[in-house]
Structure 1
């Protein structure tokens, strides 16, 4: 992932995260601010695929609250914080979908769905809660493949960005994406 001068260097974020793990309450906020623009880009891409009234800024802020509210911050560097943020965005959207599902019982509201681009010509609508369940099942079988789906789908990252985030090659990401895609399509049939 190319370093944007506005987002702070990876080394700066790593130092801030170390301070946060050591108990500096403000350091996580500063680290999150350093990657804020990148998180908004990821959230904007994610929300484009959804029919939802969630705002980009609200999703990024809710993800931050999830991370900041955790018992102990586990992020060790910039890439890890981006990956954890993508997971937190997924959790926010899943929580929202659960709340909507609970609210809609008998209300006749339209179901909240996600539309994922599985490849160039193929699109599939996936219900948020079903996708979450499938990702949990995939995680038990192949943790990295589940991370690839999470980063691609919920984080809005491209293959080269995911490779850098996970510390693997682009080829490995493509292979994991194919495995994950096959698993998800098979599970949906």
Structure 2
């Protein structure tokens, strides 16, 4: 409801509407970013604050989105953070040039642990393929893996039940593990 009000103000030309909204959602965005970055390697240049700020700058450009509700906003925010981290990984990988690809197994431990650049890129490619097959499962992976959200938070964000999130998470991990194994 609050997001719709701010969206209407924003589309009506109020340039400060999004600036008023961000303080209301900043803590949750920070928690998402922190959850994703907590296990990153020490030389990672993004802090949770920097990731939230960059996501904010990208969200400001989404002035044509008809924000449906709070969950819709956080699903988009999670996707934006994913794109930022994948872009970062691609750029860092291009700078490194080369290196052997390593087998990736997507599991619960990947939510909080460090992943190398090749793993992030491989997961992103596989996730795009999964989205073509089952978009909801791909969104669950985005929330859990890239957003660092819990089962409960993912359910709330996507507007589905926790058992559905658990099932989709298990099925998506199995499919992604098979897909990632086939890439090697």
Whether TM exceeds 0.5 here: the answer is: yes
Question: In the superposition, relative to structure 1, how do residues 35 and 115 fare at CA in structure 2: closer, same or farther (>3 Å)?
Answer: farther
1:103-122 paired onto structure 2 within 5 Å? 103-105=95-97, 117-118=107-108
Establish whether residue 16 from structure 1 lines up as the match of residue 11 from structure 2: no
Q: Which residue of structure 1 aligns with residue 86 of structure 2? A: 94
TM-score normalised by structure 1 residue count: 0.80
TM-score (norm 2): 0.82
Confirm or deny: 8 A CA contact 2:39 2:114 kept in the other structure: no
Q: Does 1:45 align with 2:35?
A: yes
Report the RMSD for the aligned CA atoms in angstroms: 2.6
Gaps of 5+ in 2: none
Contact 1:162 1:173 in 2 (8 A): yes
**Is the 1:13–1:34 Cα contact (8 Å) retained in structure 2?**
no
SS at match of 2:65: coil
Paired residue total: 172
Specify which of 154, 166, 169 is matched with residue 158 of structure 2: 166
Distance (Å, rounded) in 1 between the aligned partners of 2:23 and 2:82: 20
Larger strand proportion of the pair: 1
User: Which residue of 20, 29, 36 corresponds with 2:26?
Assistant: 36
Within the candidate set 74, 82, 87, 1:82 is matched to 74
Range with bigger deviation, 153-162 or 89-98: 153-162
Deviation at 1:23, TM superposition (A): 3.4
- What is the CA deviation profile of residues 23-68 of structure 1, one whole-angstrom value per residue up to 9, with x for unaligned ones? 3222122222211011111111100132223111100011111111
Do the aligned residues in 1 keep the contact of 2:71 with 2:159 (CA within 8 Å)?
Answer: no
Separation of aligned partners in 1, 2:151 and 2:133: 21
1:161 to partner: Cα distance: 1.5
| Counterpart selection for 2:169 from 165, 177, 189 | 177
The aligned counterpart of 1:65 is 57
How much has 1:95 moved relative to structure 2? Answer: 1.1
Can you list the C-alpha shifts for 1:149-182, whole angstroms capped at 9, x where unaligned? 0011111211112112211111111111111011
CA contact (8 A) 1:46 1:154 kept: yes
Q: Flag the structure with more relative contact order, 1 or 2, with Cα contacts below 8 A and sequence separation at least 6.
A: 2
Residue 5 of structure 1 aligns with which residue? none
CA contact (8 A) 1:21 1:73 kept: no
